[in-house]
Amino acid sequence: MIKEMAALLQERGVYLHEIAQIVYDLQKGYVPDLTLEYCVEVVTGVLSKREVQFALLTGAALDVLAEEKKLPSPLQEIIQKDHLLYGIDEVLGLGIANIYGTIGTTSFGYLDKEKIGVIGKLNFNKINKVNTFMDDLVAGIASAAAAKIAHNAGCLCCENADKGL
């Protein structure tokens, strides 16, 4: 199923290493020996989870259907124009971001605002393209991967707590 997920992302103009780059940028300040290869591995792990796959399938399908003008009105216009008050794309992305705990929520908020890397590219590419869901799905996957890395690496305050400091 991971191959299918990678292919689906690629069809929508997103490569796994681009998501991994966002994860790397989010976590490099906290995990000194972090590598891009490890980030790719963690992103792949996130994509192996069924709830992530279901969210990705749902959001990508809605983007494609909107591109093909096959959605019922007014949903067609809302998704096609990425209506400012339509927050269901963010809800789907947040659903992914939260799979490894609330650390993912913070990263998702940051990515939603700053739109770094491929997220910015998706958000900018709107000529004959609908990426209303895809930018949030990518932000969700990157945020979940960043949260997983943060949990695996632990943190100084937890280590100090373990030592009774």
Which class for 3: exposed (0-12), middle (13-18), buried (19 or more C-beta within 10 A)? Answer: exposed
Which residue of 18, 63, 112, 135 would you call a contact of Mg ion, by CB under 5 A?
135
Q: Kindly indicate which of the ranges 59-67, 73-81, 85-93, 142-150 contains the residues binding Mg ion, using the contact rule CB under 5 A.
A: 85-93
Minimum Å distance from CB 86 to Mg ion?
8
DSSP assigned state of 29: T
CA gap 99, 151 in Å, rounded: 12
Which residue of 130, 136, 139, 144 would you call a contact of Mg ion, by CB under 5 A?
136
Nearer Cβ to Mg ion, position 2 or 91?
Answer: 91
DSSP string over 54-105? HHHHHHHHHHHHHHTT-SPTTHHHHHHTT-TT--HHHHHHHHHHGGG-THHH
Nearer Cβ to Mg ion, position 69 or 126?
Answer: 126
Q: Kindly indicate which of the ranges 72-80, 89-97, 104-112, 144-152 contains the residues binding Mg ion, using the contact rule CB under 5 A.
A: 89-97
Binding status of residue 89 toward Mg ion by CB under 5 A: yes
Which chain residues interact with Mg ion by CB under 5 A?
89, 132, 135-136
